[in-house]
Amino acid sequence: MRAAIRFFRHDARHFQILFLASFLLYGIGVLQWDAEVRRYLLLFGTCLLVQAAFIHWKRLPWHSIKSAMVTGLGMSLLLKSGSPWTLVLGAAVAIASKFLLRVEGKHIFNPGNLGIAAAVLLTGDAWVSPGQWGSGAALVFLVGAAGCMVVLRVGRIDTSIAFLATFGALDFVRQVLYLGWEPEVWLHRMSNGSLLLFTFFMITDPVTTPRAQGARIGWSMAIAVLAFVLGWKWWVNATPIWALLIVSAITPVLDRIWKGERFQWIKNQAPRNSPCRTSQRISSPVQLQHSTPR
Protein backbone atom coordinates (compact mmCIF):
# COMPACT_ATOMS: atom_id res chain seq x y z
CA MET A 1 0.00 0.00 0.00
CA ARG A 2 2.79 2.41 0.90
CA ALA A 3 4.56 1.60 -2.35
CA ALA A 4 1.39 2.44 -4.29
CA ILE A 5 1.03 5.75 -2.44
CA ARG A 6 4.66 6.64 -3.10
CA PHE A 7 4.23 5.81 -6.78
CA PHE A 8 1.14 8.02 -7.00
CA ARG A 9 2.75 10.96 -5.20
CA HIS A 10 6.07 10.97 -7.06
CA ASP A 11 4.53 12.34 -10.28
CA ALA A 12 2.15 15.33 -10.23
CA ARG A 13 0.54 14.12 -13.45
CA HIS A 14 -1.15 11.36 -11.46
CA PHE A 15 -3.03 14.06 -9.51
CA GLN A 16 -3.96 15.86 -12.71
CA ILE A 17 -5.28 12.71 -14.37
CA LEU A 18 -7.33 11.80 -11.30
CA PHE A 19 -8.88 15.23 -10.86
CA LEU A 20 -9.59 15.88 -14.54
CA ALA A 21 -11.23 12.47 -14.89
CA SER A 22 -13.28 13.27 -11.78
CA PHE A 23 -14.44 16.56 -13.33
CA LEU A 24 -15.52 14.74 -16.47
CA LEU A 25 -17.53 12.23 -14.44
CA TYR A 26 -18.98 15.10 -12.38
CA GLY A 27 -20.17 16.82 -15.53
CA ILE A 28 -21.81 13.69 -16.89
CA GLY A 29 -23.29 12.46 -13.61
CA VAL A 30 -24.17 15.64 -11.71
CA LEU A 31 -24.48 18.38 -14.32
CA GLN A 32 -26.32 16.04 -16.70
CA TRP A 33 -24.07 16.59 -19.71
CA ASP A 34 -24.73 14.44 -22.72
CA ALA A 35 -22.41 11.45 -22.49
CA GLU A 36 -20.54 12.22 -25.72
CA VAL A 37 -18.46 9.09 -25.56
CA ARG A 38 -17.28 9.36 -29.16
CA ARG A 39 -15.95 12.90 -28.58
CA TYR A 40 -14.06 11.85 -25.46
CA LEU A 41 -12.60 8.77 -27.15
CA LEU A 42 -11.51 10.72 -30.23
CA LEU A 43 -9.73 13.40 -28.22
CA PHE A 44 -8.21 11.07 -25.66
CA GLY A 45 -7.30 8.35 -28.17
CA THR A 46 -5.73 10.75 -30.66
CA CYS A 47 -3.60 12.32 -27.94
CA LEU A 48 -2.32 8.91 -26.86
CA LEU A 49 -1.64 7.70 -30.41
CA VAL A 50 0.27 10.83 -31.46
CA GLN A 51 2.27 10.82 -28.23
CA ALA A 52 3.10 7.13 -28.70
CA ALA A 53 4.29 7.81 -32.25
CA PHE A 54 6.67 10.52 -31.06
CA ILE A 55 7.86 8.38 -28.15
CA HIS A 56 8.76 5.62 -30.61
CA TRP A 57 10.34 8.03 -33.10
CA LYS A 58 12.45 9.90 -30.56
CA ARG A 59 13.07 6.92 -28.25
CA LEU A 60 11.62 8.67 -25.21
CA PRO A 61 10.62 7.09 -21.88
CA TRP A 62 7.07 5.77 -21.88
CA HIS A 63 6.08 7.61 -18.72
CA SER A 64 5.63 10.70 -20.93
CA ILE A 65 2.40 9.11 -22.21
CA LYS A 66 0.83 10.44 -18.99
CA SER A 67 1.20 13.99 -20.31
CA ALA A 68 -0.93 13.03 -23.31
CA MET A 69 -3.56 11.68 -20.93
CA VAL A 70 -3.66 15.04 -19.13
CA THR A 71 -4.01 16.89 -22.44
CA GLY A 72 -6.73 14.55 -23.71
CA LEU A 73 -8.80 14.90 -20.53
CA GLY A 74 -8.39 18.67 -20.48
CA MET A 75 -9.51 19.02 -24.09
CA SER A 76 -12.47 16.71 -23.42
CA LEU A 77 -13.64 19.15 -20.75
CA LEU A 78 -13.40 22.25 -22.92
CA LEU A 79 -13.44 21.55 -26.67
CA LYS A 80 -16.64 20.84 -28.58
CA SER A 81 -17.20 20.24 -32.30
CA GLY A 82 -19.76 18.81 -34.66
CA SER A 83 -17.10 17.07 -36.72
CA PRO A 84 -14.96 14.14 -35.53
CA TRP A 85 -12.15 15.23 -37.85
CA THR A 86 -12.00 18.60 -36.11
CA LEU A 87 -11.50 16.86 -32.78
CA VAL A 88 -8.75 14.67 -34.25
CA LEU A 89 -7.06 17.74 -35.75
CA GLY A 90 -7.13 19.63 -32.45
CA ALA A 91 -5.75 16.71 -30.45
CA ALA A 92 -3.03 15.95 -33.03
CA VAL A 93 -1.88 19.58 -33.14
CA ALA A 94 -1.82 19.70 -29.34
CA ILE A 95 0.54 16.74 -28.96
CA ALA A 96 2.66 17.35 -32.04
CA SER A 97 3.34 20.94 -30.95
CA LYS A 98 5.27 19.65 -27.92
CA PHE A 99 7.86 18.07 -30.19
CA LEU A 100 7.85 20.38 -33.21
CA LEU A 101 7.53 23.86 -31.67
CA ARG A 102 10.46 24.03 -29.26
CA VAL A 103 13.03 26.57 -28.15
CA GLU A 104 16.13 25.40 -26.27
CA GLY A 105 14.58 22.01 -25.59
CA LYS A 106 11.33 23.40 -24.17
CA HIS A 107 7.99 23.51 -25.97
CA ILE A 108 6.46 26.97 -26.19
CA PHE A 109 2.68 26.56 -26.02
CA ASN A 110 0.45 24.71 -23.62
CA PRO A 111 -0.56 21.69 -25.75
CA GLY A 112 -4.27 21.71 -24.90
CA ASN A 113 -4.45 25.47 -25.34
CA LEU A 114 -2.86 25.36 -28.80
CA GLY A 115 -4.96 22.35 -29.83
CA ILE A 116 -8.21 24.11 -28.91
CA ALA A 117 -7.15 27.30 -30.69
CA ALA A 118 -6.13 25.39 -33.82
CA ALA A 119 -9.44 23.53 -33.96
CA VAL A 120 -11.43 26.77 -33.61
CA LEU A 121 -9.36 28.89 -36.00
CA LEU A 122 -8.69 26.34 -38.74
CA THR A 123 -12.11 24.75 -39.08
CA GLY A 124 -14.82 27.11 -37.89
CA ASP A 125 -16.53 24.00 -36.52
CA ALA A 126 -15.24 24.03 -32.95
CA TRP A 127 -15.98 26.05 -29.86
CA VAL A 128 -15.48 26.30 -26.12
CA SER A 129 -18.60 26.25 -23.98
CA PRO A 130 -17.97 28.12 -20.69
CA GLY A 131 -21.61 27.89 -19.63
CA GLN A 132 -21.70 24.10 -19.44
CA TRP A 133 -20.19 24.16 -15.95
CA GLY A 134 -22.56 26.54 -14.25
CA SER A 135 -21.32 28.20 -11.07
CA GLY A 136 -22.68 26.13 -8.20
CA ALA A 137 -20.95 26.17 -4.83
CA ALA A 138 -20.15 22.45 -5.02
CA LEU A 139 -18.36 22.87 -8.34
CA VAL A 140 -16.39 25.88 -7.11
CA PHE A 141 -15.23 23.91 -4.08
CA LEU A 142 -14.38 20.85 -6.15
CA VAL A 143 -12.37 22.65 -8.81
CA GLY A 144 -10.77 25.10 -6.39
CA ALA A 145 -9.68 22.48 -3.84
CA ALA A 146 -8.45 20.00 -6.43
CA GLY A 147 -6.75 22.71 -8.42
CA CYS A 148 -4.92 24.04 -5.36
CA MET A 149 -3.61 20.56 -4.61
CA VAL A 150 -2.23 20.22 -8.12
CA VAL A 151 -0.62 23.65 -8.41
CA LEU A 152 0.94 23.31 -4.96
CA ARG A 153 2.31 19.94 -6.05
CA VAL A 154 3.94 21.40 -9.17
CA GLY A 155 4.98 24.68 -7.52
CA ARG A 156 2.80 27.00 -9.60
CA ILE A 157 0.32 28.40 -7.06
CA ASP A 158 1.86 31.83 -7.70
CA THR A 159 0.69 31.61 -11.31
CA SER A 160 -2.91 30.84 -10.34
CA ILE A 161 -3.09 33.57 -7.70
CA ALA A 162 -1.56 36.24 -9.94
CA PHE A 163 -3.94 35.47 -12.80
CA LEU A 164 -7.13 35.11 -10.78
CA ALA A 165 -6.45 38.14 -8.55
CA THR A 166 -5.65 40.40 -11.52
CA PHE A 167 -8.56 39.23 -13.67
CA GLY A 168 -10.96 39.36 -10.71
CA ALA A 169 -9.89 42.88 -9.71
CA LEU A 170 -10.29 44.23 -13.25
CA ASP A 171 -13.67 42.58 -13.64
CA PHE A 172 -14.83 43.89 -10.24
CA VAL A 173 -13.90 47.46 -11.18
CA ARG A 174 -15.84 47.20 -14.42
CA GLN A 175 -18.88 45.23 -13.28
CA VAL A 176 -19.44 46.64 -9.79
CA LEU A 177 -17.73 50.03 -9.59
CA TYR A 178 -18.21 51.23 -13.18
CA LEU A 179 -21.44 49.58 -14.32
CA GLY A 180 -22.99 49.50 -10.84
CA TRP A 181 -24.02 45.84 -10.90
CA GLU A 182 -24.48 43.88 -7.72
CA PRO A 183 -21.39 42.07 -6.35
CA GLU A 184 -23.29 38.79 -6.74
CA VAL A 185 -23.08 39.21 -10.51
CA TRP A 186 -19.30 39.52 -10.32
CA LEU A 187 -19.07 36.53 -7.98
CA HIS A 188 -21.17 34.46 -10.37
CA ARG A 189 -18.79 35.27 -13.23
CA MET A 190 -15.70 34.51 -11.17
CA SER A 191 -17.04 31.14 -10.00
CA ASN A 192 -17.51 29.83 -13.54
CA GLY A 193 -16.15 26.29 -13.83
CA SER A 194 -14.30 26.88 -17.10
CA LEU A 195 -12.48 29.89 -15.63
CA LEU A 196 -11.43 27.88 -12.57
CA LEU A 197 -10.26 24.95 -14.68
CA PHE A 198 -8.18 27.32 -16.79
CA THR A 199 -6.75 28.95 -13.65
CA PHE A 200 -5.70 25.77 -11.90
CA PHE A 201 -5.03 23.29 -14.71
CA MET A 202 -4.10 25.10 -17.94
CA ILE A 203 -2.23 28.28 -17.11
CA THR A 204 -0.23 26.41 -14.46
CA ASP A 205 1.39 23.90 -16.83
CA PRO A 206 4.90 23.80 -15.28
CA VAL A 207 6.60 22.91 -18.54
CA THR A 208 5.36 25.92 -20.53
CA THR A 209 5.26 28.63 -17.84
CA PRO A 210 8.33 30.86 -17.38
CA ARG A 211 10.96 29.28 -15.16
CA ALA A 212 11.68 32.26 -12.88
CA GLN A 213 9.00 33.07 -10.32
CA GLY A 214 9.00 36.83 -10.93
CA ALA A 215 8.65 36.29 -14.66
CA ARG A 216 5.77 33.84 -14.07
CA ILE A 217 3.86 36.35 -11.96
CA GLY A 218 4.23 39.12 -14.54
CA TRP A 219 3.37 36.66 -17.31
CA SER A 220 0.20 35.57 -15.51
CA MET A 221 -0.88 39.15 -14.89
CA ALA A 222 -0.34 39.98 -18.58
CA ILE A 223 -2.61 37.08 -19.53
CA ALA A 224 -5.27 38.33 -17.12
CA VAL A 225 -5.14 41.88 -18.50
CA LEU A 226 -5.31 40.69 -22.10
CA ALA A 227 -8.18 38.30 -21.31
CA PHE A 228 -10.10 41.15 -19.66
CA VAL A 229 -9.52 43.53 -22.57
CA LEU A 230 -10.52 40.93 -25.19
CA GLY A 231 -13.79 40.33 -23.38
CA TRP A 232 -14.54 43.95 -22.58
CA LYS A 233 -13.63 45.61 -25.88
CA TRP A 234 -14.28 42.86 -28.44
CA TRP A 235 -16.64 40.44 -26.67
CA VAL A 236 -14.43 37.48 -27.51
CA ASN A 237 -15.62 34.10 -26.20
CA ALA A 238 -13.34 32.13 -23.83
CA THR A 239 -10.88 35.02 -23.61
CA PRO A 240 -8.34 33.31 -21.27
CA ILE A 241 -7.72 30.67 -23.96
CA TRP A 242 -6.70 33.29 -26.51
CA ALA A 243 -4.79 35.42 -24.04
CA LEU A 244 -2.68 32.43 -22.97
CA LEU A 245 -1.95 31.54 -26.59
CA ILE A 246 -0.74 35.07 -27.40
CA VAL A 247 1.33 35.67 -24.26
CA SER A 248 2.94 32.20 -24.40
CA ALA A 249 4.81 33.33 -27.52
CA ILE A 250 7.06 35.53 -25.35
CA THR A 251 7.87 32.79 -22.80
CA PRO A 252 11.23 31.90 -24.44
CA VAL A 253 12.23 35.56 -24.20
CA LEU A 254 11.34 35.67 -20.50
CA ASP A 255 13.30 32.47 -19.88
CA ARG A 256 16.36 33.96 -21.54
CA ILE A 257 16.19 37.21 -19.55
CA TRP A 258 15.24 35.73 -16.17
CA LYS A 259 17.04 32.46 -15.56
CA GLY A 260 15.40 29.62 -13.68
CA GLU A 261 15.72 25.88 -13.25
CA ARG A 262 13.91 23.55 -15.61
CA PHE A 263 10.96 21.60 -14.21
CA GLN A 264 10.86 17.81 -14.14
CA TRP A 265 7.75 15.73 -13.50
CA ILE A 266 9.39 12.80 -11.71
CA LYS A 267 11.74 13.21 -8.79
CA ASN A 268 15.00 11.32 -8.89
CA GLN A 269 14.93 8.38 -6.53
CA ALA A 270 17.65 7.68 -3.95
CA PRO A 271 18.11 5.12 -1.22
CA ARG A 272 16.02 5.79 1.87
CA ASN A 273 18.95 6.73 4.14
CA SER A 274 21.21 8.39 1.63
CA PRO A 275 22.18 12.10 1.85
CA CYS A 276 20.67 12.62 -1.59
CA ARG A 277 17.27 11.48 -0.38
CA THR A 278 17.47 13.88 2.57
CA SER A 279 18.31 16.79 0.32
CA GLN A 280 15.39 15.95 -1.96
CA ARG A 281 12.98 16.47 0.92
CA ILE A 282 14.28 20.00 1.24
CA SER A 283 14.52 20.98 -2.41
CA SER A 284 11.57 21.52 -4.69
CA PRO A 285 11.05 19.33 -7.74
CA VAL A 286 11.12 22.47 -9.86
CA GLN A 287 14.80 22.82 -8.93
CA LEU A 288 15.79 19.58 -10.62
CA GLN A 289 16.97 19.34 -14.22
CA HIS A 290 15.66 17.24 -17.03
CA SER A 291 15.92 17.24 -20.78
CA THR A 292 13.15 14.89 -21.83
CA PRO A 293 9.96 16.29 -23.44
CA ARG A 294 6.97 15.71 -21.26
Tens-binned pLDDT, residue by residue, of the chain (294 aa): 888 888 888 888 999 999 999 989 888 888 888 778 999 999 999 999 999 999 999 999 999 999 999 999 999 999 999 999 999 999 999 999 999 999 988 999 999 999 999 999 999 899 997 777 776 766 777 788 888 888 888 889 999 999 999 999 999 999 999 999 999 999 988 988 889 999 999 999 999 999 999 999 999 999 999 999 999 999 998 999 999 999 999 999 999 999 988 888 875 544 444 333 333 333 333 333 344 455
Give the list of residues 6+ apart from residue 132 with CB closer than 8 angstroms, or none: 27, 31, 33, 193, 194
pLDDT of residue 27: 85
pLDDT of residue 139: 75
Classified as helix, coil or strand, 174 is helix
pLDDT of residue 137: 65
pLDDT of residue 268: 55
Give the list of residues 6+ apart from residue 228 with CB closer than 8 angstroms, or none: 167, 170, 171, 174, 239
CA–chain centroid gap for 241, Å, is 10
Task: Kindly list the distances between the CA atom of residue 71 and the CA atoms of 52, 206, 287, in Å, as whole numbers in the listed order.
Answer: 14, 13, 24
Task: Kindly list the distances between the CA atom of residue 16 and the CA atoms of 70, 73, 98, 152, 153, in Å, as whole numbers in the listed order.
Answer: 6, 9, 18, 12, 10
Classified as helix, coil or strand, 60 is coil
Which pTM was predicted? 0.87
pLDDT of residue 294: 59
Residue type for position 13 = R
Helices then strands, each counted (H, E), the chain: 14, 4
pLDDT of residue 164: 96
pLDDT of residue 200: 92
pLDDT of residue 267: 58
**What's the alpha-carbon Rg for the chain, to the nearest Å?**
19
CA distance 251 to 107: 10
pLDDT of residue 243: 98
Please say whether the beta carbons of 120 and 127 come within 8 A.
yes
Domain extents for the chain? 2-130, 137-257
Scored b (16 or more CB within 10 A) or e, 19-55 reads bbeebbebbeeeeeeeeeeebbebbbebbbebbbebb
Show the CA angle centred on residue 26, arms to residues 9 and 137, nearest 5°.
Answer: 95
**239-248 and 213-234 helices cross at what angle (nearest 10)?**
130
Strands 79-81 and 102-103: unpaired
